[in-house]
Amino acid sequence: MDLFGKEVRGLERAMDGLSRRMEATALNLANVHTPGYARRDVKFEDSLAEVLDSMEVPIDPERSEAPEDTSYLIEQWQPRTEVDERRPQRLDGNGVVLEKEVSAATQAALRFNVLATSLAADYRDLKFVIDAK
């Protein structure tokens, strides 16, 4: 039995995706002066939303059996790092633009902090319930 359900697991997995994005951005920044380097990116929001949507269980009063357990879907999901195949913007073949990478790192960190705050609130609620007993 999942204590929190797909909402908390979704938050955790989104944090995994943002963490992987921050790693890719750090790698991009480390290679900003490497000729021929192709930048990396992690796009996970759409695939994570698809997994979470597929975990929706419609309530059918005509069915007497328990709905299929789809919790394995969120456990198997992984964010993927992709190499940006677009034409590099620089003559040395490097596809990294410093300003864009710093902006991406800042956005990912802010989103991660928002999700961490939300997840911490869920765990505080659980602690409150446990302490009240």
Residue-wise pLDDT for 30-52, tens only, equals 999 999 999 999 999 999 999 98
In this structure, is residue 122 part of a structural domain? Answer: yes
In this structure, is residue 20 part of a structural domain? Answer: yes
DSSP category for residue 133: -
Burial 83-101 (b: 16+ CB within 10 A, else e): eeeeebeeeeebbbbeeeb
In this structure, is residue 1 part of a structural domain? Answer: no
Count up the domains in the chain and report the number: 1
Token pair, residue 20, equals 């992987």
Range of the structural domain that residue 48 is part of = 6-132
Q: What is the pLDDT of residue 1?
A: 41
In this structure, is residue 104 part of a structural domain? Answer: yes
In this structure, is residue 22 part of a structural domain? Answer: yes
Residue-wise pLDDT for 70-80, tens only, equals 778 888 899 99
CA–CA dist 35, 47 (Å, integer):
32
Q: What angle do CA 97, 102, 108 make, to 5 degrees?
A: 125
Q: What is the pLDDT of residue 123?
A: 86
